[in-house]
Structure 1
């Protein structure tokens, strides 16, 4: 298993593998990696439509994958097949795909030299790690774990997005933008585009960023609730403390937790009635990426548990308003109670 940094070094030296598996929590970065592979293999051939294929990993069809891999490239040295959202590679995928992967695992040991097979899946949250199914493939492929960029690496990547669009942003403004935006390149690209359209020909100011960019607290609340679903009180308390450190008031955090449980409950109910991602995006006005994460998180709770947690939020709110209790302690007790089995 290699890092994003090592992958980029290999690509610059044109050291290619015939089979890649990307995994990580930032789909935007993963897509950038795939574009780099395409750029040095099939984009210059003039026949990219014939030498590049893309298929969904929602339903694994080994025969189709193998047939695509066996197809000889047209006027090119390579043919690239991308299998996106290959969730069958995740150990905790509810559908047992273990046996179905076996033929694929056997096939890729002798994949044609002209074929580059790429698969990827996105972690449900920042705490997920590659599982046993990935490890079993490591001998036959290059597994690239795409961790989120941090510090100057993140700032430099964001600056590249502004530069590519011909927009200049000051160092102080760039630093502030990176400090409040969620560290996910798919989301960052959308927010950069919004900020550029909003400011037009003039310079970007801190006030513009404050007005247009969403605060990272939404991601923090998502992670906090994920910790609650795993009954990880330490992770939940650490996230609560981090929010308080960033300046969020405990009563505001309680409101955000309640909103999250309410949205998860609604999504859980809608999914039970057959609603798909596009339906939820439209009804709740969610970013498609966020909608997918919310759908995944809602599955970690039963409807009964989500209903009970909403009641606990309301009880805590009443307790804070009617009694002289420490608000932060009350939120901590809420989190503990939400993890107790009924």
Structure 2
């Protein structure tokens, strides 16, 4: 198995394999690289004749063989893509298991003029490639499209800024990657917005915090900030926005708990005369975020933060031990916390 950054490097050199197995949580990157392979391998004038899409949920062996063994027209190569190839997962029904075994055998004798690409999307970011994918990757090119993190994400995002001829320093780049949702579609949109906003000058941290659409961590920061200002109505608005985005009540509650625990540690650090640099290193926070939380911590006393954590834990215990209305309990938590 290789990662998609290695695949992209190979495609830049026009190094194309005969068969690809793609899997991962980043469907946009999967489709983008499929299009790159098609652009390299198939003439646009004859795309309709040399590019075939098959639905992996309904496909059978005969359809796949027919698509792969039909000779390309006015081209050296043809591309066959099987999307939603869920027969590559470990646990499937008997019909899909049969297709999986047949495909595994057929790939060994795939015609050289055909490029076969099969892919399926992970159900969540924690999912790993199936044993079937590991096995077939011994005779095909297996590529895992995981969401990038840390320095790898920063490196990828830097290339997007470079493509737009926009300079961004390391500190601002790290802040941007920390602030934006880890989704390449969203990242590209936010880069475009930021470049337009900072037209003719360098990007600043303030630009990023003002322009970039906040991810859920920033929403939680703002929610807690409204609690510190005793504005429960505004905090409830953010709660409803998060629920509308599809966040569960339990995940929102965990994020609020984490925010208060961080505030507690930062409050202790401030009272112990620790520097921003020391705390950002100890708590693994970006210095700009740490500075904002230091300011936020001044709006609470240690006792208020402790009480807020207790209220969160009580709400968590209630949600786990009884059949209450989760949304109502979260609303009550916000109202109570705002009056601590």
Q: TM-score over 0.5 for the alignment?
A: yes
Q: Which residue of 1 aligns with 2:291?
A: none
CA distance in 2, matches of 1:100, 1:139: 18
CA distance in 2, matches of 1:215, 1:11: 33
- Structure 2 CA distance for partners of 1:6 and 1:206, relative to 1, 3 Å: closer
- Is 1:250–1:327's contact at 8 Å kept on the other side of the alignment? no
Aligned-pair CA distance for 1:183: 2.1
1:70 aligns with 2:69: yes
Which of these residues, 330, 335, 338, is aligned with residue 314 of structure 2? 330
Aligned-pair CA distance for 1:130: 1.4
- Structure 2 CA distance for partners of 1:324 and 1:260, relative to 1, 3 Å: closer
Q: Which residue of 2 aligns with 1:178?
A: 177
1:40 aligns with 2:40: yes
- Count of residues in Structure 1 that have an aligned counterpart in Structure 2: 265
Q: Which residue of 1 aligns with 2:31?
A: 31
- Structure 2 CA distance for partners of 1:194 and 1:86, relative to 1, 3 Å: farther
Secondary structure in 2 matching 1:22: strand
Secondary structure in 2 matching 1:69: helix
CA distance in 2, matches of 1:92, 1:251: 46
- Structure 2 CA distance for partners of 1:330 and 1:156, relative to 1, 3 Å: same
- Structure 2 CA distance for partners of 1:255 and 1:331, relative to 1, 3 Å: farther
- Is 1:60–1:88's contact at 8 Å kept on the other side of the alignment? no
Unaligned 5+ segments in structure 1 are 222-242, 264-285, 287-293, 299-305, 314-322
CA distance in 2, matches of 1:88, 1:259: 38
CA distance in 2, matches of 1:24, 1:327: 38
Secondary structure in 1 matching 2:23: strand
- Structure 2 CA distance for partners of 1:334 and 1:24, relative to 1, 3 Å: farther
- Is 1:21–1:118's contact at 8 Å kept on the other side of the alignment? yes
Secondary structure in 1 matching 2:157: helix
Aligned-pair CA distance for 1:128: 0.4
Instruction: Return the index of the structure with the highest Cα Rg.
Output: 2
Aligned-pair CA distance for 1:212: 3.6
- Is 2:216–2:242's contact at 8 Å kept on the other side of the alignment? no
CA distance in 2, matches of 1:26, 1:173: 24
- Structure 2 CA distance for partners of 1:338 and 1:8, relative to 1, 3 Å: farther
RMSD: 4.4
- Structure 2 CA distance for partners of 1:195 and 1:325, relative to 1, 3 Å: closer
Unaligned 5+ segments in structure 2 are 228-234, 255-306, 324-340
Q: Which residue of 2 aligns with 1:21?
A: 21
- Structure 2 CA distance for partners of 1:96 and 1:144, relative to 1, 3 Å: same
Aligned-pair CA distance for 1:26: 1.6
- Is 1:251–1:327's contact at 8 Å kept on the other side of the alignment? no
Normalization by structure 1: what TM-score? 0.60
Aligned-pair CA distance for 1:101: 2.8
- Is 2:180–2:212's contact at 8 Å kept on the other side of the alignment? yes
Q: Which residue of 2 aligns with 1:159?
A: 158
Q: Which residue of 2 aligns with 1:104?
A: 103
Normalization by structure 2: what TM-score? 0.60
CA distance in 2, matches of 1:193, 1:96: 46
- Is 1:20–1:144's contact at 8 Å kept on the other side of the alignment? yes
1:133 aligns with 2:132: yes
CA distance in 2, matches of 1:175, 1:47: 44
